[in-house]
């Protein structure tokens, strides 16, 4: 007769062979001392599989965190992995580079572990004074209008490209009316002009429910790791549980974000993860909430479920904890957390 256990996510009772190991912090974010896993029949195989394929797998190369992971993970990623662009876009933000979208590729020979490759674009001069261009993909290049032609006349470098060959570029320029009469164009590309460019980029990112669920799961795993399974099986956590496992949002939940790490944490270094649960002051009440910072950069704060009435501050210390995951030496430091501030409202 096999012993049966309840899974903390789907709440189904299953035989012990239907459970396996769940890493508190997804392995893709780093590997740490002593494993830091839930392995006492806490998360069933079915939930574990679902999380790795449907949630973590989707952000692994497609999120702001994926970009950080390429640069700061304890073990470098293999060469030539490309960042996808559904949740993050990097776009040049200065001078001639302003408006050029870049692909981020892992590169072990670079001190930053990544290199930036400009996407093939054609640039039409926009401001002669600032040396700024409007960049288009070849397919999206609009027909030339009079204003564009006037600006081109005043520039010594009216048309520029980021790696499109002449045989592809020229017919399109003629077709769209950019090469008429005496207007020729230089075949120079942006990279010919600036061999070792240094410039700022703007990062456009979106935080979608998939990313939020990865964060919520990491904190909920940690809550189970440190407070035990019975604690997290309490029905007060059913809303966050359903959101993590099934993506069902409840109005009892909320998420907020802030730049940088949590202010009350002593970070072991600049690129540590912080995972914790603590009390968050709001409207004179203390809300039990989760908090997670990836690579010291962006902090997610969210409620972990209904808290009932006002909680006395005296009780706060016994049920709060946070852990810093050091991405350089793989150590983990755990400490009490009191409360956190910051973050701006962002409802689902
Ligand atoms: Zn399960």
pLDDT digits (tens, 9 = 90+) for 247-261: 999 988 999 998 888
146/143 Cα distance (integer angstroms): 10
- φ, ψ dihedrals at 236, nearest 5°: -65, -15
pLDDT of residue 278: 84
| Ligand 1 centroid – CA 10 distance (Å) | 4
Q: CA–CA distance from 33 to each of 201, 328, 336 (Å)?
A: 35, 12, 20
Q: Which residue has the higher pLDDT, 97 or 263?
A: 97
| Ligand 1 centroid – CA 245 distance (Å) | 8
**Tokens, residue 7:** 């899974």
Contact 335, 322 (CB under 8 A): yes
Kindly tell me if the per-residue pLDDT of 345 is higher than 50.
no
Kindly tell me if the per-residue pLDDT of 314 is higher than 80.
no
283/214 Cα distance (integer angstroms): 28
| Ligand 1 centroid – CA 41 distance (Å) | 10
When pLDDT is averaged across residues 152-159 and rounded to a whole number, the result is 88
pLDDT of residue 220: 97
| Ligand 1 centroid – CA 35 distance (Å) | 21
pLDDT of residue 200: 84
- The 8-class DSSP code of residue 94 comes to S
Kindly tell me if the per-residue pLDDT of 10 is higher than 90.
yes
Q: What percent of the chain has pLDDT over 90?
A: 62
| Ligand 1 centroid – CA 173 distance (Å) | 58
Q: Which residues does 130 contact at the CB level (< 8 Å), separation at least 6? A: 95
pLDDT of residue 346: 42
pLDDT tens digits, one per residue of 70-126: 999 999 999 999 999 999 999 999 888 899 999 999 999 999 999 999 899 999 999
Query: E strands along the chain, which residues?
Result: 4-6, 13-15, 22-23, 37-38, 88-92, 101-106, 114-118, 122-127, 132-136, 159-161, 201-205, 255-259, 273-282, 285-294, 298-303, 321-325, 332-335, 344-346
What rounded mean pLDDT belongs to the chain? 87
Contact 83, 104 (CB under 8 A): yes
pLDDT band at residue 286, thresholds of 50, 70 and 90? confident
pLDDT band at residue 185, thresholds of 50, 70 and 90? low
Diameter of the chain measured on Cα atoms: 89
| Ligand 1 centroid – CA 42 distance (Å) | 8
pLDDT of residue 299: 93
| Ligand 1 centroid – CA 112 distance (Å) | 39
| Ligand 1 centroid – CA 305 distance (Å) | 19
Kindly tell me if the per-residue pLDDT of 337 is higher than 60.
yes
Contact 237, 230 (CB under 8 A): no
Lowest mean pLDDT of 7-11, 28-32, 189-193, name the range: 189-193
Lowest mean pLDDT of 48-57, 172-181, 231-240, 314-323, name the range: 314-323
Kindly tell me if the per-residue pLDDT of 166 is higher than 90.
no
| Ligand 1 centroid – CA 246 distance (Å) | 11
**Range list of H helices, 201-283:** 209-227, 229-232, 238-246
| Ligand 1 centroid – CA 80 distance (Å) | 35
pLDDT of residue 248: 97
210/299 Cα distance (integer angstroms): 16
pLDDT of residue 348: 36
| Ligand 1 centroid – CA 130 distance (Å) | 58
- Beta strands 273-282 and 255-259, pairing class: unpaired
pLDDT tens digits, one per residue of 219-233: 999 999 999 999 999
Listed residue (55, 154, 70) closest to 108, CA to CA: 70
Sorted by where each begins, the domain ranges of the chain are 88-204
**Tokens, residue 74:** 């304890």
Q: Which residue has the higher pLDDT, 112 or 320?
A: 112
8/128 Cα distance (integer angstroms): 62
Lowest mean pLDDT of 133-137, 163-167, 314-318, name the range: 314-318
pLDDT band at residue 310, thresholds of 50, 70 and 90? very low
| Ligand 1 centroid – CA 7 distance (Å) | 5
């Amino acid at each position: 007769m096999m012993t049966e256990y309840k899974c903390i996510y789907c709440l189904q009772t299953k035989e012990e062979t239907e459970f396996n190991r769940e890493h508190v912090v997804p392995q893709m974010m780093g590997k740490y001392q002593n494993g830091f896993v839930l392995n006492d029949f806490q998360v069933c195989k079915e939930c574990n599989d679902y999380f790795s394929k449907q949630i973590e797998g989707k952000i692994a190369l497609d999120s702001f965190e994926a970009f950080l992971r390429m640069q700061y993970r304890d073990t470098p990623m293999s060469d030539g992995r490309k960042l996808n662009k559904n949740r993050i876009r990097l776009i040049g933000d200065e001078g001639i580079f302003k408006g050029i979208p870049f692909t981020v590729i892992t590169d072990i020979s670079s001190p930053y572990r990544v290199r930036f490759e400009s996407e093939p674009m054609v640039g039409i001069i926009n401001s002669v004074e600032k040396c700024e261009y409007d960049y288009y993909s070849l397919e999206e290049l609009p027909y030339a209008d009079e204003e564009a032609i006037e600006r081109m006349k005043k520039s010594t470098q009216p048309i520029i490209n980021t790696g499109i060959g002449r045989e592809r570029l020229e017919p399109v320029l003629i077709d769209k009316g950019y090469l008429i009469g005496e207007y020729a164009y230089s075949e120079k590309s942006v990279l010919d002009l600036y061999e070792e460019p240094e410039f700022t980029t703007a990062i456009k990112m979106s935080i979608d429910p998939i990313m939020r669920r990865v964060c919520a799961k990491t904190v909920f795993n940690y809550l189970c790791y440190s407070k035990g399974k019975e604690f997290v099986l309490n029905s007060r956590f059913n809303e966050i549980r359903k959101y993590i496992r099934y993506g069902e949002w409840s109005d009892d939940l909320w998420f907020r974000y802030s730049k940088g790490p949590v202010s009350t944490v002593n970070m072991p270094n600049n690129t540590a993860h912080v995972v914790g649960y603590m009390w968050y002051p709001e409207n004179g009440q203390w809300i039990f909430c989760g908090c997670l910072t990836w690579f010291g950069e962006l902090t997610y704060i969210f409620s972990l479920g209904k808290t009932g009435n006002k909680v006395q501050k005296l009780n706060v210390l016994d049920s709060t904890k946070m852990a810093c995951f050091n991405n350089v030496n793989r150590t983990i430091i755990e400490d009490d957390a009191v409360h956190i501030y910051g973050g701006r409202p962002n409802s689902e």
